[in-house]
């Protein structure tokens, strides 16, 4: 073996050893990164499962609860979909139990579309502020696959979805697929659609506010 060939061989072996070392270091670091990512994913999964368990518990507790919307035009009976929107059902039921909706109005009625209520501002005698009120704390949306057909109970919201849902709700007078998946459905009318028809076709002004107030006297909840 010539001296030059020997030098080349030694250099190749040395460089190969350095390359192997760098590759080992790279793979070791990659392994540590993957372990850390795996630990983070396990923590996130545990938290998500705990949240899901709480919602499932809530949905089970709400099973079978119904409500009677008592108005000055008649009563409307509704049942809830806690499996689809447990937070919305809980919010509506607890507000009803606490008297939040007492003496509010169906402040916006549109025949062939829906009737909307649940705004605490509608308790006063000034219709100009109706539609702009709500609770101190909103809840996250629970958009689901239930369609907005006639008699559906759904949640009103502002244009910015990040704001969440407040206390206002609406009952569908007629189907509207444009709302599907974009508003949270959480129940449906089981009795009293004739009352919904009566309210939806009431005389209204230029802002869709009933000329004669449609008052929600109270909302009774029962199982």
Confidence of residue 20 (pLDDT cuts 50, 70, 90): confident
Residues 201 and 158 in one domain: yes
Q: How far apart are CA 63 and CA 82, in angstroms?
A: 7
**Do 45 and 138 sit in the same domain of this protein?**
no
Amino acid 38: pLDDT: 85
* pLDDT in the model for residue 14: 53
Angle at 39 between CA 35 and CA 44, to 5 degrees: 145
C-alpha span between 23 and 42 (Å, rounded): 28
Bridge pairing between strands 152-155 and 114-117? unpaired
Residue-number span of the structural domain to which 181 is assigned: 64-222
Domain identity same for 95 and 46: no
Q: Which of 1-5, 34-38, 72-76, 125-129 has the lowest mean pLDDT?
A: 1-5
Residue 4 inside a domain? The answer is no
Split into its structural domains, the chain has a count of 2
204 plus 107 within the same structural domain: yes
Q: Are 168 and 183 members of one domain?
A: yes
Residues 49 and 142 reside in one and the same domain: no
Read off the pLDDT of residues 40-96 as tens digits, 9 standing for 90 and up: 878 887 887 888 899 999 999 999 999 999 999 999 999 999 999 999 999 999 999
Q: Please identify which residue in the block is written with the tokens 């009120």.
A: 133
Cβ contact 219:68 at 8 Å: yes
Domain boundary residue, one of 22, 40, 62:
62
25 and 84 together in one domain: no
Q: Is residue 114 part of a domain?
A: yes
Q: Alpha-carbon distance 140 to 212, whole Å?
A: 34
pLDDT of residue 114: 98
Residues 57 and 147 in one domain: no
* pLDDT for position 12: 58
Question: Could you tell me the pTM of the whole model?
Answer: 0.81
Residue 101 and residue 162 in one domain:
yes
* Structure-derived torsion over alpha carbons of residues 66, 69, 70, 71, reported in degrees to the nearest 10: -170
Rounded Cα gap, residues 37 and 33, in angstroms: 6
């Amino acid at each position: 073996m010539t001296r030059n060939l020997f030098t080349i061989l030694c250099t190749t072996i040395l460089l190969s050893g350095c390359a192997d070392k760098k590759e080992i270091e790279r793979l070791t670091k990659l392994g540590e990164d993957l372990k850390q990512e795996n630990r983070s994913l396990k923590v996130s999964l545990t938290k998500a499962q705990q949240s899901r368990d709480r919602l499932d518990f809530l949905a089970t507790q709400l099973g079978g609860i119904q409500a009677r919307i008592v108005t000055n035009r008649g009563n409307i009976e509704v049942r809830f979909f806690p499996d689809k929107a447990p937070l919305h059902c809980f919010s509506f039921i607890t507000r009803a139990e606490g008297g939040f909706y007492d003496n509010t109005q169906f402040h916006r009625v549109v025949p062939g579309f829906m009737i909307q209520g649940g705004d605490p501002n509608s308790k006063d005698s000034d219709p100009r502020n109706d539609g702009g009120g709500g609770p101190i704390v909103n809840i996250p949306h629970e958009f689901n696959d239930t369609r907005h057909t006639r008699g559906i109970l759904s949640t009103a919201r502002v244009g910015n979805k990040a704001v969440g849902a407040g206390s206002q709700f609406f009952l569908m007078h007629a189907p509207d697929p444009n709302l599907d998946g974009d508003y949270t459905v959480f129940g449906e009318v089981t009795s009293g659609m004739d009352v919904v028809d009566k309210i939806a076709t009431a005389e209204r002004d230029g802002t869709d506010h009933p000329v004669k107030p449609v008052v929600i006297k109270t909302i009774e909840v029962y199982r």
